Structure 1
Amino acid sequence: MKRLILIRHGKSSWELNVRDHDRVLLERGINDAHLIGKHLNSAFISSQQIWSSTAARALQTAVIVSEYIDYNLLSFKLKRELYTFDSSELISQIKSCTNDIDTLMVFSHNHGLTDTVNALGSNYFDNIPTTGAVIIEFNTTQWSDISNGQTIAHFFPKNLK
């Protein structure tokens, strides 16, 4: 059994004069990341491995959430390849996970993240909101074989406030 936790980065600002990759979280994004982290903790959801896009907003979201699930940051992986808006690229990265990892948490970007959730999970979502988390389980022992998973939960900040 493999468990995938996909989380979209928190709300960021378009108003700063920086590259897209360097955009940071707004206060709302920071607060929502704390909210999702607390909720994952209270639901006893943890991860053996956390991967994050190298974009500042994804990394900030990942670090905040990881504080709540008691994750050892020495195992944390930044992956430039997760700075993608394409689901096929995101799925390719997920399928490259080593099979000794049973639970993988990935922080990435839309539209690729929503498309990945819809391609791999059993529930359809029009849009995964910022800091939205979706958990999908797969009845396989190989990450390279994941497909047609079962969406077991989703947590969106607006539903937790």
Structure 2
Amino acid sequence: MARTLVVIRHAKSDWTHDLPDDQRPLNPRGQREAPLIGRWVAEHVGPVDLVLCSTAARARETLQRSGLTAGEVRHDERVYAAAPQDLMSVLDEVSDDLDTVAIVGHNPGVSELVGVLTGEPVELKTSAIAVVTWQGGWPDVWARGASLVSHATPRG
């Protein structure tokens, strides 16, 4: 069975406030660009079964403003500041009943994840999206070798 992973880096965040890293909101540019993420995914990927979102404020706000719809949304603290192997541990828990999953996270982890899975180095700038596919279950992605189908950075 074909699996699709949509890897999304959060939109541009605000550095002007003296806040802990995980509490930083989006800046005005990020607020403008987040809806473009949802539109791009709807047009190029289609329905998403599950979104795994970092618990950081900027990731949650990106998801909320994107308008991305999914059968289920999980806010998972393991996605925040995660290395590729940590993100794969989260994906290992995804039910094989689900075909399309999105992760909303942070660099360097999300860019490195795409590179590890596909063998293609990718730099996901803020608001960037990478679409990765492979045949098999969610835990199979390490062994099967995935393909980078699309890479985009919607800008407004």
Is TM (by shorter chain) over 0.5? Answer: yes
- Give the counterpart letter for 1:15 in structure 2: T
For 1:1-161, what aligned pairs fall within 5 Å after superposition?
A: 1-43=2-44, 45-65=46-66, 67=67, 69-72=68-71, 75-125=72-122, 127-140=123-136, 142-147=137-142, 148-158=145-155, 161=156
* Matched pairs, number: 153
SS state at 1:48 partner: strand
CA contact (8 A) 2:48 2:69 kept: no
CA contact (8 A) 1:135 1:151 kept: yes
Counting aligned pairs with the same residue, the percent is 25
CA contact (8 A) 1:84 1:90 kept: no
Using the TM superposition, give the Cα deviation of residue 128 of structure 1 relative to its aligned residue in structure 2, in angstroms. Answer: 0.5
* 1:40-75 Cα distance to aligned partner (Å, 9 max, x none): 22335220111100000001111222x2x4435xx2
In structure 1, the gaps of 5 or more residues are: none
Q: For the structure 1 residues 82 and 70, does the alpha-carbon distance in structure 2 shift closer, same or farther, using more than 3 Å as the test?
A: closer
In structure 2, the gaps of 5 or more residues are: none
* 1:125-149 Cα distance to aligned partner (Å, 9 max, x none): 1x21001000000111x11111310
RMSD: 1.6
- Give the counterpart letter for 1:93 in structure 2: V
TM-score (normalised: structure 1): 0.88
- Give the counterpart letter for 1:34 in structure 2: P
* 1:87-124 Cα distance to aligned partner (Å, 9 max, x none): 21112212221111111011010001100010112532
- Give the counterpart letter for 1:116 in structure 2: L
